Structure formats: C-alpha cells, structure tokens
Amino acid sequence: MLAPRATGGAELPLPEVVRLEEEIAAADGSMGWVVTLCAGAGWFAGFLPPDLAREIIGTRRVCLAGSGAPTGFAEREGDGFRITGRWDYASGAPMATHFTLNAVLRENGQPLRDENGAPRISAFAVPAAQVSIVPTWHSVGLRATASHSYSIQGQWVPSSHGFVIDAAHATAPGPLYQFPFYPLAYITLAANLAGMARHFVGLARDSIARRKHTMSGQPLVQRPEVERLLHDAQTQLVQARDHAYALLDRAWARVAAGEEVPQAEIESLQDASLSLVAASRSAVDGLYPYCGLYAANVHSTINRVWRDFHTATQHSLLLP
C-alpha cells in the first residue's frame, strides 16, 4: 500500500490507507495490526536506493517486518556493515521476506557519533535469509500477529541497505515520502485501536442486550445509565475519530500541495491520535463490566477483541 509506484507498490494516499487500516482492524485486530505494521515497513522503500527498492518490492509474496528499537550494532566493514543484535516485536515475522531495523553504527568496535556526540543510528533493510526468528510472542491478544523477536549474528550487508527515514532523504518522489514519520506512525496505530474499539462496542451492545438487572429484572440495556454509557461510548469514539481524520486530511493536503506541515499541526495530529486512543480505551473499558461472563470466556469473539485491543494499547507510542 505504501511502497512507491515505481517499485511495484500501490503508493496509496495516506488518508485512504488509514481508513482502510481501521476497517481491517474492525474486522480482525490481528489482521489490521499486521497489515499496518508491515505496510509501514514497506513505506521505507521510498527511502532506499531505487534499484534495491524495486528488488525488494518485486520479491514474490513480499512482506517487510521489523522493529524500531536500536538494539543492535552495525560495524563498518569495507563498503558495508556487519550487523549483530536482537530486536523484539516484529509483527508478521514468520512470513517476512525482509526485515527492517535500527542499529548503532560502529567502527573498530567504537560507536560513531554525530555532531552532538550522540551515537549515530541508522535504519537497515535485511533479507530474511540473514535473520533468525526467536519465538517469543506469547501475549494474551493479537496472537495471530506472531510478533516474534529476531536476531542477526554477524551478517554483512552493503551500505546501500542502510537508509534514513526523513523527507530530505526520500529517494522516491511524491507526497507520501514527504509526510513526517511520527504523525504517520501515530495515526496508523490509532486507527487500529479505533477499529478494534468499534468492533468491541458492537459486540458489547449485543452482550448487554442478553442480560437483566439482578434486582429489578429489567433488561440491562434499557436502564438509563447503561443506555447513556452505550451512547456516550459511541459518540465520543466517532467525534475523536472525525477530529483526528480531519487533521490528517489537512496535513495530507498540505504535503500534496508541496508544502511543509507546520510543527504545530504535526503536534496537533499526534495529540488527536492519542485522544482517539483514549476515547477507544474509555469505550472498551467502560462497557466491559456490563457484558457478563460471556465476555470473559476466552472462546468468545468479544473476549478475543478485548484481548487484541488491550495488547495493542501496549505499543510504546500509545502511552497516555
């Protein structure tokens, strides 16, 4: 979805991608999460040398998985780097044809440093043949994402496999590769939470409709406080979603017109994404206690959606 058209990708407009990701997550949380994270890694093709990007995206059944944490080292060696390290939480790892990663650059065993004295970090794309999957994914939710760890032990890659995720270093034309990274990451993740929350709210309404108040015998869904809770959950979710998507559309229009997105608008989009996550959390956590023991049954759909949702909320970018 996000790889350059010139490499064989679809290069879809970002607002279209985000709305599609939400719909997939509303159908199945694991599916939405893998599509989002792996499409995000495919976006990096717009920052790779064009020949390498075409080679990677042209791979049969191409899928890129990866991790953003710089938990490895890339030792300069000749006209390339020898990479060693371990990275966690690579959604879609078993089906990946390539992995992306961040690594601290070193030479003669010593970290290379930037102008401020901090260790230099570079992103890399590495073929799956050079990677070992470490089966560590044992979460209660998003089980089907198979977000295992992976390790690389002394594998050499050419310098061309390194890249910088920044609009100034984009190798593909088009607004998609001029869009700032962090707002893209925030809104795509938030869309997943919104999709899962939508799914949960619909299932919660059905679960509550089957219950009666213990003392009065009145259908639980007809009690004013429960009606209000259902209405407020739905309303707040829609309002937060519409606000975040309006800011996304505005930022995209700027980039498509060749303009930079002002820092204030970048921060507003990120804040709106977190507000959408907060509204999603509020909807799920507010309704769950009214759903009955059926919702606590691990074989029920609503329980799986609840587990998927709460596992997804643990992504480090989504901390409240």
Distance CA 317, CA 320 (A): 9
Q: Which CATH architecture has domain 5-169?
A: Beta Barrel (2.40)
Tell me what the mean pLDDT of segment 295-310 comes to: 97
* CATH of the domain spanning 179-318, picked from 1.20.140.10, 1.25.40.10, 3.90.1720.10, 1.10.10.1590: 1.20.140.10
Q: What is the mean predicted confidence (pLDDT) over 263-274?
A: 98
pLDDT of residue 132: 98
pTM of the model: 0.95
Contact 145, 63 (CB under 8 A): no
DSSP 215-249: TT--BGGGSHHHHHHHHHHHHHHHHHHHHHHHHHH
Per-residue pLDDT band for 158 (boundaries 50, 70, 90) equals: very high
Return the amino acid letter for 189: L
Q: Is the dihedral of CA 49, 52, 54, 57 positive or negative?
A: negative
**The domains spanning 5-169 and 179-318 adopt the same CATH topology:** no
User: Sign of the C-alpha dihedral, residues 296, 23, 267, 166?
Assistant: positive
The confidence score (pLDDT) of residue 278 equals 98
Taking a C-beta distance cutoff of 8 angstroms, is the pair 70, 97 a contact?
Answer: no
Residue spans per domain, the chain: 5-169, 179-318
As beta bridge partners, residue 110 has 107
For residue 125, list its beta bridge partners: 100
Q: What does the DSSP 8-state code read for residue 174? A: S
Phi, psi angle pair for 145, to nearest 5°? -75, -20
Tracing tokens 């707002």 back to the chain, one arrives at 183
Query: Which pLDDT does position 216 carry in this prediction?
Result: 82
Classify 96 as helix, strand or coil. Answer: coil
Q: Mean pLDDT across the stretch 91-118?
A: 96
Asked whether residue 215 carries a pLDDT value surpassing 80, the answer given is no
